[in-house]
Structure 1
Amino acid sequence: MPLVKRSIEPRHLCHTALPHSIKNELECVTNISLANVIRQLSSLSKYAEDLFGELFNEAHSFSFRVNSLQERVDRLSISVTQLDPKEEELSLQDITMRKAFRSSTIQDQQLFERQSLPIPMQETYELCEQPPPLNILTPYRDDGKEGLKFYTNPSYFFDLWREKMLQDTEDKRKERRKQKVRGVGLHNRWVWLISLKSHTYNIHNSILYGYVQSFFTPFWLLCRLLSLCVSLNELFLLT
């Protein structure tokens, strides 16, 4: 739905009821039309003056920004022309070093206040009809709500935006909590797997040691018996 910022009044030149005492209706309609044309020209001149005033303010702001930019360019050109690479030695680290330029950021606040309304919009707002006095019924309500807010509520969209922001914040908090719990559970699972793996490794080593010991024990005894027999044989030969 378009919002008309400047409306030329009156829009209808001849939509006027004629009194019954008028004898020449054509002449009366002509005079009324001419008078409404003059009123339209007056309204047009008023809005033209307001429009050129806004253009002047925008041009002044743009000129200020251009002048500020030109001053910065002049300072930079002076620094570049005065720079002598023969006198000032630059290291390799300084050549490869890059510094990002950061300009001063000016944030605009409170853009949609009543004082920031353009003059035509302010006049249109003042021509609007006042809401009905429903606040007189507020003391008789049991829920404690204002009666006028059921007819018009200027803070409705702000409250809706605030609820959405709070809900998004709560959802992000829950998501971080889930990720934290998931991370702790994954860490515990890894610890359990590592402990299970080490325990299984110890069991396998014990079983393997038992197999090796059970296999090599008879062989070791046999070797000891053979060495003992050889020693006895040598003893008998010496005697």
Structure 2
Amino acid sequence: MPLVKRNIEPRHLCRGALPDGVTSELECVTNSTLAAIIKQLGSLSRHAEDIFGELFNEANSFYMRMNSLQERVDLLVIKVTQLDSTVEEVSLQDINMRKAFKSSTVQNQQVVSRNSIPNPVMEMYQRCDKPPPLNILTPYRDDKKDGLKFYTDPSYFFNLWKEKMLQATEDKRKEKRVPLMPMSDARSDLLAAIRRGIQLRKVQEQWEQEAKKEPVGNDVATILSRRIAVEYSESDDDSELDDNEWSD
């Protein structure tokens, strides 16, 4: 719902009940209408004065800011023209010893506060009905909360904004923590692979040492050749026996 900043009153010129005992109703209505018009002109002039006052304050603030900026620019121009790179040599240590630049610009805060409310809005606020006196019930509450805040709470929107800002900050903090987990997993996988490679290397070295300790010729080809040699030697022995028998 839009908020009307300035209202010109009275809004209705000819509305109103005529007093009793009026002999000329038309003359009474005309006089009351003229009186209402005069009141409207007075209200309009008051609002016009307030508008020009706000414009003057804004223009004065703008002028002060521009004057301060011009003074800073003039000082900077003088300082720049006085610098001579061929004469003055600034060491790196001197640069590090200098204080960092700090802006003295004052930012506007609490723009929507009680002190920044325009005069017409403050007058409208003062004419509003006061809330019911629910604060007298606060001592009888067990949770020690202000009873009036259940009816009206000016700090509600600020607290809601604060909760959203804190939640957004917490979400960003969690997002920054999440990428660290894959790095830790990658490191753990790398360490596990290194350990596995070391174990395989140890097993391989152990097999090589055991192979060196075993006697030479235990492979399949050597065993078969030995077996054939044994069988051949046995066959030779049998032939020799047969020859001896024949010789006898």
1:9 matched to 2:9? The reply is yes
CA distance in 2, matches of 1:28, 1:136: 49
Identity of aligned residues (%): 56
Letter matched to residue 121 of structure 2 = M
Q: Which residue of 2 aligns with 1:226?
A: none
1:35 CA displacement: 0.9
- 1:40: how far off? 1.0
Deviations 1:2-41 (A, max 9, x none): 2122211111212212234323322222211111111111
Q: Deviations over 1:90-124 (max 9, x none)?
A: 89x9xxxxxx9874332333333322322222211
Q: Which residue is 2:38 aligned to?
A: 38
Q: Corresponding residue for 1:53?
A: 53
**Partners in 2 of 1:18 and 1:52 — Cα distance?**
38
1:211 Cα deviation from its structure 2 partner: 10
Give TM-score, length-normalised by structure 1.
0.70
Distance 1:80 1:168, change over 3 A: closer
Give the distance between the partners of 2:69 and 2:169, measured in 1 at CA.
40
In structure 2, distance between residues paired with 1:106 and 1:139: 43
Larger-Rg structure: 2
Structure 1 vs Structure 2 CA RMSD: 3.5
Match of 1:115, SS state, is coil
Gaps of 5+ in 1: 94-99, 219-239
SS in 2 for 1:116: coil
Amino acid across the alignment from 2:154: P
In the alignment, the residues of structure 1 paired with residue 65 and residue 46 of structure 2 have an alpha-carbon distance, to the nearest angstrom, of: 29
For 2:126, the equivalent position in structure 1 comes to 126
Partners of 1:44 and 1:58 in 2: how far apart? 21
TM-score computed with the length of structure 2 as normaliser: 0.67
Q: Which runs of 4+ in 1 moved over 4 A?
A: 79-85, 87-91, 100-103, 172-183, 204-207, 210-214
For the residues of structure 2 that align with 1:111 and 1:120, how far apart are their CA atoms?
17
Partners of 1:141 and 1:90 in 2: CA distance: 74
Q: CA deviation at 1:135?
A: 2.0
How far has the Cα of 1:200 moved from its partner? 2.5
1:18 is matched with 18
